[in-house]
Amino acid sequence: MKRVMIVGGPGSGKSTLATRLGEVTGLPVYHMDQIHWCSGWVERAREEKSRMTHEVHMKDEWIFEGGHSATYAERVARADTFIWLDVPVWLRIFRVLKRSAMHHGQTRPDLAEGCPEQFNWQTVEFLSFIWRTRHTARAKLVAIYEAPHERLKVVRLRTKTEYNAFLEAVQNGT
């Protein structure tokens, strides 16, 4: 395991898993939200996000969590491990609300500097985005999961039990 692609919908636990996996493996961790956002919650231009994502893909080792599906094909081609956190939408929405409350006014480590958690109209828009894209975003991940290239190890985690068992297996080297 040298290049790990972690995907799933917002609130599925990608950042947490990437951080924990990085601690266990010693691999460098990259968060898409640090590429997606500039300070002050300003979204980076699509071309710039793609360029920055490409720079991560070209490294020898990485754990890269997050979206920007325009670069999935390149990321999958470089990855040796694909981890899909396939968590129900209701749980993801609950987790987004919980982290917004827990980190209110603070910038989480997986976000760009100057992007403090908040609860406002943008939060409501984000929750709406999660709901609206729940089927289309998931379909892209199903396609990768169901037809991986031959050297790509695929892992699908749907429950906390599966998640913990996976981490334990990695820690034990199995």
CATH 3.30.565.10 fits 3-171, yes or no: no
At 9-32, the pLDDT tens digits run 999 999 999 999 999 999 999 999
pTM of the full structure: 0.93
Domain ranges of the chain: 3-171
At 57-96, the pLDDT tens digits run 999 999 999 988 899 999 999 999 999 999 999 999 999 9
Q: What are the backbone angles phi and psi of residue 113, rounded to the nearest 5°?
A: -55, 140
At 36-61, the pLDDT tens digits run 999 999 999 999 999 999 999 999 99
